[in-house]
Amino acid sequence: MLNLDLELTKELLNSVNVGFYISQDNRFKFVNREISRITGYSEEELLSTSPYELLAEDEEKERMKNFTRLALLSKFDGLPYEHEVKIVRKDGSIGWVVLRPLPAIYKGRRAIICSVFDITDTKSEELKKEELENFLNLVNKIIRHDLINKLSAAISYLDLFFELNDDRLVEKALKSLEKSVETLRRMRDLEQLAKSGMEKRILSLKDVFENVASHYDIEVVVKGDCSVVADDGIYSIADNLIGNSVKHGRCNRVEVTIAESDGKCEIRVADDGVGIEENVRDSIFDEGFSQGGGTGLGLFIVRKLVEKYGGEIEVENNEPRGAVFRITLLAFSK
């Protein structure tokens, strides 16, 4: 166990580019300059608090308290050599550090001396990479789901054409194929957008829903407008909601109402279809859930994209019949 000389320790630890602190009785007793840089707090501010108060998660606080207790009792079996934790800096931002604590004697009493390595930049890159991989996986699901629906529709129209010899069915098949190409183009752009890290753009929700609605044969009425900052994934939200009302709701009419309130865009997509049974309402956004032989991806994709934009979605029955999807997104503010 280290026996620390205060003045020598201060001089030595302030001369390195690694964070060091000494804690005793669950309080900071010494912090070097690097700890102040990492956390954003001054030495005086840190010395009036506890190392655990900087940790971002309550579960992590309890874990570190337990590690410290065992180390001070010289019970090292099972204790990690180093520990990666998330901290909250003074400005409220999140940082990541690796801690390497050791038991020591400070002013004649047991203490902890801990080296602290700032890995925030590395961790941020790892999280961005993970987020990108998850997003690209979602893009692939969108492509598969949307293309299966559109190509299946085209095949059905062509099958009917050969049976009925109705030229209007060929037009519908071509329309479905055009929508397939458009989906591929949108998703290609979305994939490139994610890979390149380009910023999203300002989009009118009215324009988005009207563009998507033009590809459907049923009546779709769009009322109101609101602008959001999003990418082309917003089109997939609109397409899947209207498509769900048509395919599973078997509706004749969809009414989309868009309004801005308290800095948020509130979107209400209501149809006059068969509605959604109450016992499955909590499951319809789950991946793979389907009652009509579909892929079970449409509403899952909608939920994931809404969450990606920092929004929320819920569903309820319409009156006198049908379903209503309510989406809340952050509105663009100039």
Q: Strand pairing partners for 84?
A: 98
Return the minimum-mean-pLDDT range out of 127-131, 211-215, 250-254.
Answer: 127-131
Query: 93 or 194: which carries more pLDDT confidence?
Result: 93
Asked whether 325 and 263 are in contact (CB, 8 A), the reply is: no
Report the Cα 94 to chain-centroid distance in Å.
16
pLDDT(270) > 90: yes
Q: Which segments within 186-252 are labelled E, that is strand?
A: 201-204, 219-223, 227-230
Which pTM does this prediction carry? 0.52
H-assigned helices in 224-318: 233-247, 298-308
- Between helices 120-164 and 167-196, what is the axis angle to 10°? 170
**Confidence (pLDDT) at 155:** 92
The SS3 assignment for 181 reads helix
The SS3 assignment for 118 reads strand
User: Running DSSP on this structure, what letter comes out for residue 313?
Assistant: E
Please identify which residue in the block is written with the tokens 């909590």. Answer: 282
**Confidence (pLDDT) at 119:** 94
Tell me the C-alpha distance between 173 and 268, whole Å: 30
What tens digit of pLDDT does each residue of 214-250 get?
988 899 999 999 999 988 889 989 988 998 898 888 8
Asked whether 30 and 112 are in contact (CB, 8 A), the reply is: no
**Confidence (pLDDT) at 191:** 63
**Confidence (pLDDT) at 288:** 64
Q: How far is CA 237 from CA 102, 143, 329, in A?
A: 52, 13, 12
**Confidence (pLDDT) at 292:** 59
Return the minimum-mean-pLDDT range out of 47-51, 161-165, 212-216, 287-291.
Answer: 287-291
The average pLDDT across 52-68 equals 91
**Confidence (pLDDT) at 159:** 92
Place 2 in a pLDDT band, splitting at 50, 70 and 90: low
**Confidence (pLDDT) at 185:** 65
pLDDT(1) > 60: no
pLDDT(198) > 50: no
Return the minimum-mean-pLDDT range out of 10-19, 90-99, 132-141, 241-250.
Answer: 132-141
User: Running DSSP on this structure, what letter comes out for residue 222?
Assistant: E
Query: 9 or 158: which carries more pLDDT confidence?
Result: 158
What tens digit of pLDDT does each residue of 84-108 get?
999 999 999 999 999 999 888 888 8
How many beta carbons lie within 10 A of that of residue 9, not counting itself? 18
Task: Give the whole-number percent of the chain exceeding pLDDT 90.
Answer: 44
Asked whether 300 and 285 are in contact (CB, 8 A), the reply is: yes
Query: 240 or 270: which carries more pLDDT confidence?
Result: 270
What tens digit of pLDDT does each residue of 64-90 get?
999 888 888 888 777 888 999 999 999
**Confidence (pLDDT) at 186:** 60
The angle formed by the CA atoms of residues 265, 271 and 150, to the nearest 5 degrees, is 90
